[in-house]
Structure 1
Amino acid sequence: MKYNSANMNTLIKSCLTLCLLWSAIGSHAQVIKKSDTDDSKKTSNQLSVRAQSLYDTQDASDADIPWMRVIYRQIDLNKEKNMPLYYPEESTENQENLFRIVMKLLANNQIPAYEYLDGREIFTDEYRIKVKEMFDRFHILYAPAKGYSEKNPRFTVEESDIPSNEVLSYYILEKWIFDRRTSQVKPSIEAICPVLHRTGDFGGEAVKYPMFWVKYNDIRPYIARQYILASNENNVQQYNYDDYFQMRMYEGEIYKTQNLRNQSLMQMYPNDSIRKQAQDSIEKQLKNFNENLWVPSPEEIAKAKEEQAAKEAKENGETLDNDKQKKEKSRTARSSRAKKQKEAKVKKQKQPKQQKSSAAPVRSVRRTR
């Protein structure tokens, strides 16, 4: 009996130990699973320090920038090249348009936005907008999100309440900078402004409402994760929004350049044709700036002279050939006329001569008798 009771005690202790170990393992697994879920939620809403550092760019100092041109462009989303910024209108499982991404980032208080000041853009805390006031101004429905506070204002906006179908254009602020370190002119996007196009209750022409400015470097890590269809002819999503902007795949016309009087091109050039000439002139200046920086080498000068001489020789040869052709045509025409005249003369000589009838009366036969 003693032996059996000892065995029973040992067995009971072993069972209790196994139960305790099993419960400890289960609780530990639940803690790990919960922490993983929390981390996944955190990473889905916020970027890690490493992800943000991938898109940090070191700006050139003022000492390295001897020349800069600030350009304002209008991106019309009705143009085919700009349609990737508008579509899809409604969010799908793995794709959102640019405006929806920006609005969700603002609602979650992940990026700042700044007032639209019409040519006097200042990206400081003094001009940072309050998202709640912006929602009220443009009549966008919202609700305070979980964890809302004055220091961390977060909002929830339903998908159907985001007016992405009314954002039909964007303003883009570009800086064309000559960097002394690389001796090149490189364009960079400074900020983006979505523009609402809204009509009144009685219809009519849509009125444009610039909403706010967001700095491109603030949204760049987020839009770089969204791949898009850049073309109707290739349905592979091989570019993201950051590629789209960095590769300058968009098409936009210049509506303003930074100037002392802070005037747009429409104010400076009311005539349409003159304004178009001014836009083309600015585009040409930006495009040819790099080429005008360099002094040609002796080899390049010699090559240019050879090309010019060959071009002049070709033009002179064509002129001589044209003169020869004209002389040949003139000679042929003269010989043809002479031949025709000669043939006409010979034909006239071969014709038989007609006998002339005498005007005197003919003697009658009767009178001879």
Structure 2
Amino acid sequence: MKIAVKGVIPVLCLFMAMPLLRAQNNNSSTVRTGVVGSTNNTSSSSISVRAKSLYEKEAISPADIPWMRVIYRSLDLKEEENMPLYYPEEPTENQENLFRLIMRLLTENKIVAYEYLDGREVFTDQYKMNLKDLLDKFHILYEEKEGRTSKSTRYIVNESDVPSNEVLSYYIREKWIFDQRNSGLTSVIEAICPILHRVGDFGGDAMTYPMFWIKYDDLRPYMAQQYILTNNENNVQNYTYDDYFKMRMFEGKIYKTTNLRNMSLMQLYDTAEKQDSARAGIEKQLQNFENSLWVKSPAPVEQASKDTDKKTTTASSGQNATEKEVKSSVRSSRGTTTSRSSVKSGSSKSVKSKSSRSSSSKSAPIRSVRRTR
């Protein structure tokens, strides 16, 4: 019996220790994965479900949106404010431009591209683009590899084959929404479209080709992990791509708004001056709508009344100053100020006063204080 007990005890101890060993192995693998991901931000773009949930927003009910306007903007990457989306042209250890990030996520099947329909964008499964068709359409070289199963296929695009130097502009589709839950006007970027600027075989001016739409909410978790350089004078990377768009650090020109005829500003107005005037009018309408949402608080009203009081006191002080100047100019030789009646009477009264003084001096006798013998 003793021998049997001795043989059973090690087996029981080993069986009880198995869950602890498994937990240690799982913890060690998690730590290794985290270390590898932190060393190279460009190669590791895996985001957990919990991290994605941090960037998910609750959809606003249509009943809470009594007013909305959809605006399309064009971002020219040659402008200084938009250059952070283009540089660096070649990926570095911990940084890559926006188009390379989009292409890498597409080839890894982490985001979905939707067809560009020129103002009739519908982000449903019906308009999802096949990755192979997308690469063939824009003549992007790729390598096709079979996956673990016969149905899955991987498309690998080398870094040198990504046409990031030809993507010189972007379209963004944004919604200006009045949310009556908080009585505020907010701008929400809904989708981003890279624009390919490509010269034909016979040269000439570059032609623009809108490629596809990417939903901003799908791209946002990955953009929030990519830090960028936004200032030439300060080389510290303080902002991410998500901060760049959320803080509206870009310079976007309105080229279209949703309208009944589905026409752009270039189609509606024949000259550049009229198009610029229409853009300024749209921006002013948005600003006026936001300003008209709130009733001015008493503080600005009181400040405005104080400003008017200051203006009136300044005007009255100016009048007093002119009167003082007039009075100071009519001072007598003894330093006393004459009255207004004396000023209006003129020099005739002064002559009379002098004559009266002279006559009074002649009539009065002059007596000597010296004794005469």
Shorter-chain TM range is 0.7 to 0.9
The match for 1:117 is 117
Contact kept in structure 2, 1:269 and 1:275, CA below 8 Å: yes
Distance 2:315 2:146 in 1: 79
Identity %: 57
Change (3 A) 1:233 1:294: same
SS at match of 2:81: helix
The match for 2:67 is 67
SS at match of 1:58: coil
Contact kept in structure 1, 2:77 and 2:83, CA below 8 Å: yes
Change (3 A) 1:124 1:310: same
Contact kept in structure 2, 1:175 and 1:190, CA below 8 Å: yes
Change (3 A) 1:227 1:319: farther
Contact kept in structure 1, 2:173 and 2:189, CA below 8 Å: yes
5 Å-filtered alignment, 1:108-187, equals: 108-145=108-145, 147=147, 152-187=152-187
The match for 1:260 is 260
The match for 2:272 is 272
The match for 2:238 is 238
The match for 1:284 is 284
Choose 309-318 or 78-87, whichever is displaced more: 309-318
Amino acid at match of 1:178: F
Amino acid at match of 1:91: P
Residues 247-304 of structure 1: CA deviation (Å, up to 9, x unaligned)? 0000010000001110101111112112111101111222332221123355644543
Distance 2:198 2:83 in 1: 19
Deviation at 1:202, TM superposition (A): 2.2
Distance 2:256 2:148 in 1: 40
Distance 1:155 1:210 in 2: 22
Q: Is the radius of gyration larger for structure 1 or structure 2?
A: 1
Contact kept in structure 1, 2:45 and 2:222, CA below 8 Å: no
Contact kept in structure 2, 1:148 and 1:154, CA below 8 Å: no
Change (3 A) 1:68 1:147: same
Deviation at 1:34, TM superposition (A): 9.7
Count of aligned pairs between the two proteins: 300
Change (3 A) 1:80 1:320: farther
TM-score (norm 2): 0.72
Change (3 A) 1:32 1:255: same
Amino acid at match of 1:121: E
Residues 83-136 of structure 1: CA deviation (Å, up to 9, x unaligned)? 000000001111100000000111111111100000000000000000100100
Deviation at 1:233, TM superposition (A): 1.0
Change (3 A) 1:270 1:103: same
The match for 1:223 is 223
Contact kept in structure 2, 1:170 and 1:195, CA below 8 Å: yes
SS at match of 2:95: coil
TM-score (norm 1): 0.73
Deviation at 1:160, TM superposition (A): 0.3
Contact kept in structure 2, 1:109 and 1:152, CA below 8 Å: no
SS at match of 2:205: strand
The match for 2:200 is 200
Distance 2:218 2:176 in 1: 19
The match for 2:57 is 57
Amino acid at match of 1:288: N
The match for 1:76 is 76
Change (3 A) 1:73 1:33: same
